Amino acid sequence: MDIQETIDYCINSAIKIGIETYNRTLDFSDDSIIFVDEILDGYHDRYINSEKDNGLIKKHANTYAHIFGIYIGEVLRCNHASDYIWMDTEFGLTLSKNVQNQVNPIAKVYKQIINGKESGDDIKSFFNIAILIMQGKFPTTR
């Protein structure tokens, strides 16, 4: 599967999961990130209580991270930084403008599924900071 096919598959899967499993419409608005956050909270709960689903979430955490990470990345890209593109980097699929300007929503989603918000892995906070990074407004440490 090439990058565009992966993106299309993940976007379609996120929308389908949102509607069919959670009765939430993922419409590429910034507000839809709140729904994704709720879905990820549910995945985290399943992860720490994996006996309830026979460990399926632990087997598929990376898949869900890609599905919802790419959805979040597309919301960022479409609404805040059209000059960013998906690139296959040493860190996996990453939204990149150049080597110095990259964000990795897939990794952050994975961390929220595994660690939960209580460990500081909150997708809504990541989203807000990613907007600042993508717009060049995040303070640099020089």
The pTM for the full model equals: 0.93
Q: Is residue 139 part of a domain?
A: no
The CATH number linked to 43 is 1.20.120
**Mean of per-residue pLDDT scores for the chain:** 92
101-103 β-sheet, strand order: 85-89, 92-98, 101-103
Indicate the number of domains in the chain: 1
> What is the share, in percent, of the chain residues with pLDDT greater than 90?
76
For 96-132, what is the HEC assignment?
EEECCEEECHHHHHHHHHHHCHHHCCCHHHHHHHHHH
Q: Is residue 104 part of a domain?
A: yes
State the average pLDDT over residues 51-79.
93
Mind listing the pLDDT tens digit for each residue in 100-139? Answer: 889 999 999 999 999 998 887 789 999 999 999 998 887 6
More confident residue, 53 or 43: 43
Q: Is residue 140 part of a domain?
A: no
Which range of residues forms the domain containing residue 127?
3-134
Closest CA to 33 of 41, 82, 86: 41
